[in-house]
Structure 1
């Protein structure tokens, strides 16, 4: 194993600047940021100047030809996750790809196959898994405190939280709106805590009611005239083990709270809300609520990057796997297909996956 991890960054946007690079740099001699690549070369050059990165490229294929790298962070719009990841794996790099895995499940499947063929790590940027709430609850679940989890609710809702920057409202580049952007985080959190059951059937609906109108923006002004994604998605997912999830996700909805990101789990021995963490049980002929206290304060992205670096250098397994990425992508694309067709979709029969 290499003593120093040589890392390249593909995509010079906000997630690279605010999450990946600052946290890679916390590991000193263990990590060396060697190169940054972006199709807009000026953005890559600015990032390289700000973080003292020696090599700049506008084409990742050229980067892989000229620079020997051990690992890559994929920080591009969703449309380019697949091609960048495949290119990195073929170049012999470990890959941390931002969420969602891809635009389609077929792409996610090919990414997983490429990682296996290359013998390299492929993991995804589901940073909520690294929160103290999720880590504590996972220990309770593994200890049998909730029993068999058979139902969950997933909430990723904003009152007027359409991003006023980036390409989040561009369907061609992102594949969708709040479902694939913020809903995917809470959906992954629920699936992770449920031990990623195999999906069976999905039913979804999407709405575009507020995003195409000029209005108040709590996350900046958005381009409402070119808004091409849903502003709300709702759905139900059933699994082959009999469990189910109800999901709601919105960039903009007429609700009270500015935003809410949460997962609720229900098992036959207990239930839980994750954010904030509260566990519900019946013991000694009493209904009790448990609220763990003094949870450690930790930066989710920092722990995500730390675990990726350790996995690359020490050969430990990442907690987000390519196979889980495939299941998740099948669900996301199945929900979009269901909304398009107006009927429930059997995941195995979906044309979009």
Structure 2
């Protein structure tokens, strides 16, 4: 394969602003063949804007009518699993936007479909591809942090409820900030920790702000039809003895407009990832290590570039279906614990 023939499932903002431009930047290594959306006129508009030859009103029709090597799944969470599985069965590699799915059972089906098809399935965890995470990973691989036994995860906005899309619709998204932005920082932490297996999960969610009219830093949201949590708090213990605490919010009364942060603690050192700073004890003194240079890399673009290179080379992508299943288990366990008031054991 010298050129990856790509199809886009879903013609919304993430497809228009991230996936399609990302593929186009790969030049003659990629040909975007088709785009599909349940709103055919939207697919046709995107196809016209980006000079994509074919537009379809369903991904089923697209997979049947045109020959593709790879697909980006850019639809609401509710439809991730069915679109991904259909594309894998059609012989396509798949880059599915985060989160993997709505349920653990769906994520398991996606793992099976990927294994059965022999095609790559990877997820849109683009923070893995930022320079901060890549540099931190080199420190961790060199044993500079030692055994990472604890992590703190924050994905918190002051008033960052999206005023567009379906982000506040639980039926279509499965949840709010935890499954939308918290999943990014959770994946980042798990990736740097080596993706340990969860053992016990305890969670609590809050809905205190989103159902009322208020100041919106990301536009006015539909507070009358707001069905997701404002905030999710969780704690995870892992089978290797490590622990992780998490806070994720679309709206919280905090100082900063947004905090996206992962903090790691190991027995030889610790790290804050955004921006990157390493904390160690050396030569009988405490030191902080701050990189003075990091390449300016767009995580989204780097992610798509690596997906294309995986399709061309046969080298597996960085994010695997099995890792997606682990993160889905943790997310759903936090929600289940919040609903039942009980810790969830695996």
Deviations 1:51-105 (A, max 9, x none): 0111111111111111110000000000000000000000000000000000011
In 1, distance between residues paired with 2:123 and 2:63?
Answer: 21
Which residue matches 1:88? 87
Aligned partner of 1:133 in structure 2 is 132
SS at match of 2:81: helix
**Alignment correspondent of 2:12:** 13
Cα drift, residue 334 of structure 1: 0.3
Aligned-partner SS, 2:216: coil
Does residue 285 of the first structure (1) align with residue 284 of the second (2)?
A: yes
Separation in 2, partners of 1:168, 1:306: 27
1:351 matched residue in structure 2: none
Report Cα offsets for 1:14-37 as digits up to 9, x if no partner: 100111000100111110000000
1:232 matched to 2:231? The reply is: yes
Corresponding position of 2:152: 153
What is the alpha-carbon distance in structure 2 between the residues aligned to residue 59 and residue 318 of structure 1? 27
Distance 2:133 2:64 in 1: 40
**1:192 aligns to what SS in structure 2?**
helix
Question: RMSD of aligned C-alpha atoms?
Answer: 0.5
| Equivalent runs, 1:185-334 vs 2, <5 Å | 185-334=184-333
Q: Distance in 2 between matches of 1:215 and 1:61?
A: 41
1:240-269 CA-to-partner distances (Å, cap 9, x unmatched) read 001010000000000000000000000000
Alignment partner, residue 35 of structure 1:
34
Q: Distance in 1 between matches of 2:26 and 2:173?
A: 31
| C-alpha distance in 1 between matches for 2:234 and 2:91 | 39
Return structure 1 stretches of 4+ with deviation > 2 angstroms: none
Inter-partner Cα distance in structure 2 for 1:21 and 1:53: 10
How far does residue 293 in structure 1 lie from its aligned partner after superposition?
1.3
Q: Secondary structure at the match of 1:191?
A: helix
CA distance in 2, matches of 1:43, 1:165: 16
For structure 1, list consecutive stretches of 5 or more residues without a partner in the other structure. Answer: 349-353
Q: Distance in 2 between matches of 1:42 and 1:232?
A: 36
After TM superposition, give the deviation of residue 342 of structure 1 in Å. 0.7
SS in 1 for 2:84: helix
* Distance in structure 2 (CA, Å) of the matches to 1:341 and 1:4: 50
- Report SS of the residue matched to 2:159: coil
The within-5 A match list for 1:1-150 is: 2-150=1-149
Give the Cα–Cα distance (whole angstroms) in 2 for the partners of residues 141 and 270 of structure 1. Answer: 9
- Aligned to 1:324, the other structure's residue is in SS state helix
CA distance in 2, matches of 1:63, 1:19: 21
TM-score (norm 2): 0.99
Instruction: Give 1:158 shift.
Output: 0.2
1:87-133 alpha-carbon deviations (Å, 9 max, x no partner): 00000000000000000111111101111110000000000000000
- The alignment of Structure 1 onto Structure 2 pairs a total of residues equal to 346
